[in-house]
Amino acid sequence: MQGSCNCNSVHFSASADIRAIVNCHCNLCRKMNGGAFSTYVVVADEGFVLTKGCLKTVQVSENATKSFCESCGTPIFNQNPKLAGLKILYFGSIDTPSNLEPAINIYCESQLSWVTQVASLPNFAQGVE
C-alpha cells in the first residue's frame, strides 16, 4: 500500500498486513481532523517506511501523537502508546483506497446523530449543480 500527502512532498509505503480499518467517532478525532469522524487503516510499525519527505509530529493528547507533512499539513498517521507497535494511517493519505472498506465504528457513544443518515442525502457526481 502506498500513500502520500497533498503537496507530494511526503510518500510512504506500508507492507504490513492491515490489522483493521475503522471509523473513529471520538471527540479528539473530530477536533484534530475537522470532520464528523475519521477513517483509519491500522498497520504494524515494522511494515511502514517513509520513502520521501519529512514529517512533523505533535503530541495531541496523553494518548496520541499526530504525524503530518510539514509543508502542507496533510495528516499521515497517529500513534497511541496503548497500541504499541501500530501506526494508525489516515485513510485519506492512502493513494488507492478504493479497495479498502471500514469494518467497524469505534467511540460510537460520541457519534453525531446525523452520521447514520449520510447515505440517504442527495448525491452529486461533482459539486452542487
The grid coordinates of residue 62 equal 496523553
What SS3 class is residue 122?
A: coil
Q: What Cα–Cα distance (Å) separates residue 107 from each residue in 33, 37, 51, 99?
A: 15, 10, 32, 24
100 occurs within a structural domain: yes
117 occurs within a structural domain: no
Q: State the residue range of the domain holding 68.
A: 2-112
Tens digit of pLDDT for each residue in 5-35?
Answer: 999 999 999 997 899 999 999 999 999 889 9
Q: In this predicted structure, what is the pLDDT of residue 129? A: 65
Tens digit of pLDDT for each residue in 77-112?
Answer: 999 999 999 999 999 999 998 899 999 999 999 999
99 occurs within a structural domain: yes
11 occurs within a structural domain: yes
122 occurs within a structural domain: no
128 occurs within a structural domain: no
Q: In this predicted structure, what is the pLDDT of residue 16? A: 76
Reading phi first (left if > 0) and then psi (alpha if -120 to 50, else beta), residue 3 is in beta
The grid coordinates of residue 124 equal 452529486
C-beta atoms surrounding 33 within 10 Å: 17
Look up the CATH number of the domain holding residue 12: 2.170.150.70
Domain count, the chain: 1
